[in-house]
Amino acid sequence: MPERRADDAPVRLYLASTSPARLATLRAAGVEPAGLISPGVDEDALVESLTSSRGPLSAAEMVGELARAKAEAVVGRLVEGEPIDGFILGGDSAFEIDDVVHGKPHRDEVARERWKAMRGRRGVLHSGHWLIDHRGGVPGLGVGRVEDAVVEFADDVTDTEIDAYIATREPLSVAGAFTIDSRGQAYIRTIDGHPSTVIGLSVPALRSLLREGFGVEWHRLWNR
């Protein structure tokens, strides 16, 4: 077997999130995170603070700032008693339609109202990413990117289908009250953008951040 070059050595990725969808997306792309760490960021308080100091945030600005805060909240932590040695990725998502930003609905009635308003229409899913170089256990440079994808919903989704979907509890804890990687995909007509962006972690964006920000090729994260 040829000797592995230093610039081809494996690189670890730590996910500052406990999202099952983000984890599944990374695994499908060949990456098993070295750790899943809940950042513990109070999102509402952070957005309120930023709005007070800077004025209203656009949806893209909001997810970018939240992704950065989540990644930075993990800096210096231990994973299974060991210091982080790799890259930290933070992410956040929000769905925007008619210039109104929708996060997670949490309640049945909110999800139902949104779905009745969304069917047959298009909206934008904003997905923020922030990547911090924490190789060697020392925090370094952080870089970020926000990716967008336009989602068009089917116009023939019935009230009965909406109620059945809400009864699964799936739409209550996801931005925009829909998924494209589970039950919700049946009610989506088209997506203009990379599907992983809608899931909440754009794999092409992560590849670009690694390559352009740190000179790390994507395949160095493959470990599955």
Query: What backbone torsions phi and psi does residue 36 show, to the nearest 5 degrees?
Result: -115, 120
Model confidence at 5: pLDDT above 70:
no
Higher pLDDT among residues 8 and 51, named by residue:
51
Q: Give the pLDDT confidence score for residue 7 in this predicted structure.
A: 66
Q: What angle do CA 18, 22, 24 make, to 5 degrees?
A: 105
- Domain ranges, residue 51: 9-219
Q: Report pLDDT digits (tens) over 116-136.
A: 999 999 999 999 999 999 999
25's tokens: 């997306």
> What residues are annotated to the active site?
92
In sequence order, what are the residues at sequence separation of 6 or more whose Cβ sits closer than 8 angstroms to the Cβ of residue 213?
Answer: 131, 133, 141, 143
Let me know if residue 57 belongs to a domain: yes
Asked if residues 11 and 87 have their Cβ atoms less than 8 Å apart, the reply is yes
Structure confidence at residue 224 as a pLDDT band (50, 70, 90): confident
Provide φ and ψ at 126, rounded to 5°.
Answer: -100, 130
Residue 172 lies in a domain: yes
Centroid of chain to Cα 220: 21
Q: What is the pTM of this model?
A: 0.92
Q: Is residue 186 part of a domain?
A: yes
Q: Does residue 146 sit within a domain?
A: yes
What is the CATH number for 89? 3.90.950.10
Q: What is the mean pLDDT of residues 164-172?
A: 97
The predicted pLDDT at position 39 comes to 96
Q: For residues 43 and 214, what is the distance between their CA atoms, to the nearest angstrom?
A: 28
Question: Buried b vs exposed e over 88-122: b needs ≥16 C-beta within 10 Å?
Answer: bbbbbbbbbbeeebbbbbeeeebbbebbeebbeee
Distance CA 102, CA 129 (A): 18
96 located within any domain: yes
What are the tens digits of pLDDT across the range 192-206? 999 999 999 999 999
| Residue 92 is assigned to a structural domain of this protein | yes
- Say which residue the tokens 């339609």 belong to: 97
In a domain, residue 129? The reply is yes
What 3-state DSSP class applies to 153?
Answer: strand
Report yes or no on 2 lying in a domain: no
pLDDT above 50 (res 3)? no
More confident residue, 152 or 2: 152
CA distance 158 to 137: 52
- Number of folded domains that form the chain: 1
